[in-house]
Each structure stands twice: as structure tokens, then as C-alpha cells.
């Protein structure tokens, strides 16, 4: 809109009639030629149109008819001034030259400019008696034009969309010719080759052209029950990016190519989030004897499980159940939500430390929350990946909730450990590897001070929660509340779990 206004301040148009021929003029009005006839100057707050009409007895019955047509010519000149300014603004950033669209743009903006004609004023007239020419100067103030800025903006948007649509259609044809289709195959080819594409003299990543043409890397499109990657399972309807991470090696160079494509497109990689998906009936979340949800396991849809598994609590007044109950807000829900993941979430959940480091250096937010309020930094703590934890702790940003998540994970792991106490040590070791579980309490303890430093606001509350949980486990042992048919809970097992919790206090 600024371009339009600037153009209107400086533009003036003259409408000139046919060849002037000397003749006897029946009108006797005599005056000196005014300055504005030959010296058309632009004023900052007005737009000028000048019209000239030559007397013809076959056309003009009298002086009034001559004046009327001269005024019409001046107003037409004014219309041309307005529409040309708006039209040039609309097309100023377009490399596309399309005759039909140019014609459409001109036609549309003329409609807007004509809205101002009723507010135009006759500024001056002059009769060139020698040539029987009547000159008329018409002006309109820019404050009048500004009243129509919204209408002009809508017309500009309409024409721009038409131009963009034509451009996109042509780009898609060029992409298809190179087999960069707007699907996973095209995405995989573009990223694997780190391909560039030149269109109308502009060269940029092929993926950038794809993105501007409507391709979405997070759109769920590939139907798989799940993808198992490094102990992390993806949900149904996997996106192109996630499937590529599973099928191919998404290196730092390739991720840099993706980021470069977004920087040169009309979208921002920082705004990318996965869709929010409903998983109705996918898991029985609440059960009086729930042994704990499989958290970040190598099977099932564990990405869904993580936020809910962290809701487990030990309470001293719990009935004689073998395991604690789920106490988060989803405890009686049969429908779970997952999604709202950023690129940094995805790289973290797939345990790609090199990609996490790249994204952090690019400015991605470690505190960006998904639909369940979980941040990338919190997931790094939850899955107990030391390489990821170190990256997040070394970042310059304060981290929200990392100590809180360390506490929640310790409580969850203690509960899971109690559950596994019912099985043989060999089976426990097998499941530990298969589930991606870390039963060694040393890792979270190792970074305890850093977690507290990065997450000061949660320390007091969650130290109290740890003490409550440790006291509850001690009471369970003393009152023999925890028991199982195969292997009763031993004092050694109880002490080990209490120590796991108190190490974080």
C-alpha cells in the first residue's frame, strides 16, 4: 500500500486531443496562457488530470458542450493517473509478464480509481482562442484516495493471487518435468540430491519451489501403523519428513538444505508444526491395576504415551493396588492427542543429536510446547539421552520444566522397575534394551544441579513431590501394600527405588 501512495503523490497525466488546426473561434473569452499548461508540477497532496477539447461545430452546439467534453477528458486523465499508479504498484514485484493478467489488473484498479471521480474538482480552465482549444485542470486530494485504500488493497490482493496462481501453475509444470512431484517421492529426490531449480531466471532449492507451490513436509500422507526408530515410534499417517528420517539418512547437510529451502520460500521453518491428531481407543490409559504405560518403547505408538506416562504418582493413601494409578487429566479419557511438534521436537524424538545441535544454532526454541505442553528439551530429559541433554544444557537459553520432567521420569521409572520385579533378571535386561528404558539412576543424578539451575521455578514443588513419593514407597514396604503373585517386593527393591528418587532431591 505504501508503494501505491508514493506513486499517487508524484504522478500526473495529460490527455491530448487530435492535431491542432488554426481556425476562427466563435468564443470571445480572452486570457493569458496559464503556467500549468506547459509546466505540469507534482504536488504532494493532490493528483492532477488535464484535458483538452478542440471546438468542432458538428460536435459542440455551444460553449457549455465544449466545456463538458473538456472536463470529461480531464477526468479520464485523472482516472489514468490513479489506475496506472495502483497498477504499477501491484505488478512492481512481479517477474511474470502475462498479457491477460496485466489487462485484468488494469481493469480492476480502474474500477477503484473511478470511485474518486465524484470527489474531483475543477481547478482551472483556459481557452486557447487562437486554436479554439479549451483546457481543463481537474484535481483530487490524496486524502480522498486514502479513503479507498482498503478497496485498493482488496483489488491488489485479488490480482496478486491471480498472478501467483499462474506462476505456481507454471512452476509445478517445471517441477513435474524434473520429477520433483509434490509428494514424498519428489521430496525425497530433492533432499537426497540437494537439488536446485531455475525458473524464469531465478535459481533456488527445488524444495523451495515445491513449498511455495503447496507442498507441506509435515502433512500426514504415508499410511503406516508405526515406524520404529532408535526406540522411538511414530504415530499413524507419517509425514514425508519423518518417513525420510526412517528410510534415509537425514544428515546435517540435508537438514541445512531443508532450512535453506524454507529461508528462500514464502514460509518460515520456525512456524512448522505437525498436525494435532486424535488417537481414539488407541490405548487404555486408565486402569486400577495399570502397570505403567510403555514409555518411549520400541513398539506401539510411544510418542503418544510419553506425556501420559509422566502423570504417574505414588500416594500413601492409595488402595491395595499393585501399581500406582495414572493421575493426569487424561486418566479417564479414551482419546489421546498428539502433535504440534516443531522440527526440534522431531529431531529430539528421533534422537538425532547432530540435527538438534544444528537447529539450536539456527535459533529454534527449546521451550516450544507441543499439544501436551512438552518441549524438545523436556523430551530429551524424558528419554534420558545424554548427548541430547548435554546439548540442551549447554545452550544459552533457560529451559522450562527440565527438572520437573527429570522428577516425573524418575517416578515413572521406579514404578516400571517395580513392575519388572515380577520377572526374571534376564527378561528385565532384555526388556530394558527393547523398551529403550534406562534403569540406571546415575544419568539423571549426574545432571541434577544443571536441571535445577535451568529450571529454578519448579525445584521447590518437585522436591516436595519426590519426598512424597519416597515416603509413599517406604510406607508401601512397611505396610506390605506392594505385592505380587510371582515375586513379592523385597526391601532391596524398595530401597533401590527410594534411592532413585532421593538422588534427585
Q: Are 349 and 303 in contact (CB under 8 A)?
A: yes
In this predicted structure, what is the pLDDT of residue 148?
58
Q: Which position has the grid cell 529426490?
A: 189
Which pLDDT score is estimated for 300? 37
Co-location of 434 and 317 in the same domain: yes
The domain boundary residue, chosen from 165, 182, 197: 165
What the block records as the C-alpha cell of 391 is 546439548
State pLDDT tens for residues 407-417: 988 888 887 77
User: Is a pLDDT exceeding 80 seen at residue 403?
Assistant: yes
Is residue 150, in this structure, part of any structural domain at all?
Answer: yes
Residue 49, domain CATH: 3.10.129
Q: Is the pLDDT of residue 356 over 90?
A: yes
Give the pLDDT confidence of 491-502 residue by residue, as tens digits. 777 788 888 888
Q: Do 478 and 354 have their domain in common?
A: yes
Residue ending a domain, among 165, 199, 229, is 165
Q: Give the residue among 187, 299, 300 at the shortest CA–CA distance from 245.
A: 187
Q: What is the mean pLDDT of residues 465-489?
A: 72
3-state secondary structure of 272: coil
CA–CA distance, 175 with 179 (Å, rounded to integer): 6
3-state secondary structure 166-198: HHHHHHHHHHHHCCCCCCHHHHHHHHHHCCEEE
Q: What is the CB neighbour count within 10 angstroms for residue 155? A: 22
Boundaries of domain holding 447: 274-502
Contact 115, 151 (CB under 8 A): yes
Helix (DSSP H) and strand (DSSP E) numbers for the chain:
20, 10
Residue 128, pLDDT > 60, answer yes
Q: Is 50 exceeded by the pLDDT of residue 217?
A: yes
Cα separations (Å) of 146 from 86, 140, 154, 355? 12, 11, 14, 50
> Under a CB-based contact definition with an 8 Å cutoff, are residues 441 and 417 in contact?
no
pLDDT of 96 reads: 43
Residue 466 and residue 464: Cα distance in Å, rounded? Answer: 5
Find, among 81, 145, 136, 88, the residue nearest to 118 by Cα. Answer: 145
Q: Beta strand 12-15 with 46-54: parallel, antiparallel or unpaired?
A: parallel
Using the predicted structure, report yes or no on whether residue 205 has a pLDDT greater than 60: yes
The string of DSSP codes covering 317-356 is: T--S-SSPPB-STTTT-SEEEE----HHHHHHHTT-HHHH
Q: What's the domain count of the chain? A: 2
- Which of 165, 182, 198 corresponds to the end of one domain? 165
Same domain, 343 and 491: yes
Reference 304, options 343, 330, 273; nearest CA is 330
pTM score: 0.65
Q: Is the pLDDT of residue 10 over 60?
A: no
pLDDT tens, position by position, 248-282: 889 999 999 999 999 999 899 999 998 887 765 44
CA distances from 349 to 214, 302, 356, 397, 412 (A): 26, 10, 10, 20, 18
50 forms bridges with which residues in the sheet?
A: 14, 137
Residues 307, 452: one domain? yes
CA distance 211 to 292: 41
Amino acid at each position: 500500500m505504501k508503494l501505491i501512495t508514493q506513486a499517487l503523490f508524484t504522478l500526473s497525466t495529460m490527455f491530448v486531443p487530435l492535431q491542432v488546426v488554426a481556425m476562427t473561434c466563435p468564443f470571445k473569452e480572452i486570457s493569458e496562457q496559464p503556467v500549468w499548461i506547459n509546466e505540469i508540477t507534482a504536488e504532494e497532496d493532490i493528483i492532477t488530470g488535464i484535458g483538452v477539447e478542440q471546438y468542432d461545430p458538428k460536435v459542440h452546439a455551444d460553449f457549455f458542450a465544449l466545456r463538458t467534453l473538456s472536463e470529461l477528458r480531464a477526468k479520464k486523465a485523472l482516472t489514468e493517473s490513479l489506475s496506472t499508479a495502483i497498477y504499477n504498484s501491484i505488478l512492481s514485484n512481479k517477474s511474470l509478464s502475462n498479457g491477460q493478467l496485466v489487462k485484468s489488473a488494469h481493469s480492476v484498479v480502474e474500477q477503484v480509481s473511478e470511485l474518486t471521480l465524484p470527489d474531483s474538482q475543477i481547478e482551472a480552465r483556459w481557452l486557447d482562442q487562437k486554436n479554439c482549444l479549451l483546457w481543463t485542470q481537474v484535481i483530487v486530494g490524496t486524502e480522498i484516495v486514502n479513503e479507498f485504500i482498503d478497496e485498493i488493497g482488496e483489488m491488489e490482493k485479488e490480482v496478486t493471487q491471480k498472478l501467483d496462481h499462474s506462476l505456481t501453475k507454471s512452476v509445478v509444470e517445471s517441477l513435474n518435468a524434473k520429477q520433483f512431484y509434490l509428494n514424498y517421492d519428489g521430496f525425497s529426490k530433492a533432499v537426497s540430491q540437494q537439488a536446485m531449480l531455475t525458473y524464469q531466471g531465478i535459481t533456488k532449492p527445488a524444495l523451495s519451489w515445491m513449498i511455495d507451490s503447496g507442498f507441506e513436509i509435515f502433512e500426514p500422507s504415508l499410511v503406516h501403523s508405526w515406524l520404529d526408530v532408535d526406540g522411538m515410534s511414530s504415530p499413524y499417517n507419517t509425514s514425508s519428513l519423518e518417513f525420510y528420517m526412517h528410510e534415509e539418512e537425514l544428515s546435517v547437510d540435508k537438514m541445512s538444505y531443508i532450512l535453506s529451502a524454507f529461508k528462500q520460500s514464502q514460509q518460515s521453518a520456525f512456524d512448522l508444526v505437525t498436525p494435532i491428531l486424535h488417537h481414539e481407543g488407541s490405548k487404555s490409559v486408565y486402569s486400577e491395576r495399570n502397570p505403567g504405560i510403555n514409555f518411549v518403547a520400541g513398539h506401539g505408538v510411544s510418542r503418544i504415551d510419553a506425556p501420559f506416562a509422566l502423570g504417574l504418582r505414588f500416594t500413601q493413601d492409595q488402595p491395595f493396588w499393585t501399581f500406582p494409578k495414572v493421575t493426569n487429566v487424561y486418566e479417564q479419557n479414551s482419546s489421546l492427542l498428539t502433535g504440534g511438534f516443531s522440527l526440534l521436537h522431531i529431531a529430539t524424538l528421533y534422537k538425532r543429536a547432530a540435527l538438534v545441535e544444528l537447529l539450536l544454532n539456527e535459533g529454534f526454541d527449546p521451550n516450544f510446547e507441543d499439544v501436551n505442553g512438552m518441549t524438545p528439551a523436556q523430551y530429551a530429559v524424558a528419554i534420558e539421552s545424554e548427548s541430547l541433554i548435554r546439548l540442551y544444557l549447554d545452550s544459552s537459553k533457560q529451559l522450562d520444566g527440565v527438572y520437573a520432567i527429570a522428577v516425573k521420569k524418575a517416578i515413572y521409572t521406579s514404578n516400571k522397575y517395580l513392575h519388572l520385579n515380577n520377572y526374571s533378571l534376564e527378561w528385565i535386561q532384555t526388556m530394558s534394551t527393547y523398551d529403550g528404558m534406562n534403569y540406571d539412576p546415575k544419568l539423571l543424578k549426574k545432571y541434577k544441579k544443571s536441571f535445577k539451575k535451568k529450571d529454578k521455578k519448579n525445584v521447590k514443588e518437585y522436591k516436595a513431590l519426590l519426598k512424597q513419593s519416597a515416603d509413599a514407597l517406604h510406607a508401601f514396604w512397611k505396610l506390605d501394600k506392594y505385592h505380587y503373585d510371582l515375586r513379592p517386593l523385597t526391601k532391596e527393591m524398595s530401597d533401590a527405588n527410594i534411592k532413585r528418587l532421593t538422588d534427585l532431591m
